[in-house]
């Protein structure tokens, strides 16, 4: 439930329209962060890294959509970040995705 709220607040993910289960991906990512960092297939950390990649891909897609159509506002963090990309010199697309994912 918290993951769903976080995804909606940070990057406006709509769970009714999406086929991706981002809530499970976020939960797997957070759970893997608390595991031993052994990046071998079958470990929680390995799954965590795969979930991180999937989450970054979803956020990149949302970011590209928002940059292409900045008039469509959803009132989330990603809208504010896209608005600030042109005003702040250090705010880049890579930085936005890294901040949202937290990695």
State the chain's mean pLDDT as an integer: 81
- d(Cα 20, Cα 54) in Å, to the nearest integer? 10
Predicted pLDDT at 17: 67
Q: What pTM value is reported for the model? A: 0.75
Q: What is the pLDDT of residues 64-100, one digit of tens each?
A: 888 888 777 777 888 888 888 777 677 788 888 888 8
Contact 79, 11 (CB under 8 A): no
Q: What is the pLDDT of residues 3-52, one digit of tens each?
A: 777 777 777 777 666 666 777 888 888 888 888 888 899 999 999 999 98
- d(Cα 58, Cα 41) in Å, to the nearest integer? 22
Q: How far is CA 64 from the centre of its chain?
A: 13
Contacts made by residues 65-69, CB under 8 angstroms, sequence distance 24+: 67/93
DSSP 25: H
Predicted pLDDT at 46: 92
What is the sign of the dihedral through the CA atoms of 7, 44, 93 and 89? positive
């Amino acid at each position: 439930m918290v993951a769903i709220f976080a995804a909606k607040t940070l990057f406006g993910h709509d769970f009714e329209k999406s086929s991706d289960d981002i809530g499970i991906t976020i939960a797997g990512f957070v759970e893997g962060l608390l595991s031993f960092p052994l990046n071998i297939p079958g470990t929680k950390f390995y799954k965590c890294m795969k979930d991180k990649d999937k989450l970054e891909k979803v956020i990149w897609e949302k970011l590209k959509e928002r940059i292409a159509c900045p008039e469509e506002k959803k009132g989330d963090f990603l809208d504010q970040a896209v608005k600030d990309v042109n005003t702040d010199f250090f705010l880049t697309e890579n930085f936005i995705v890294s901040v949202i994912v937290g990695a």
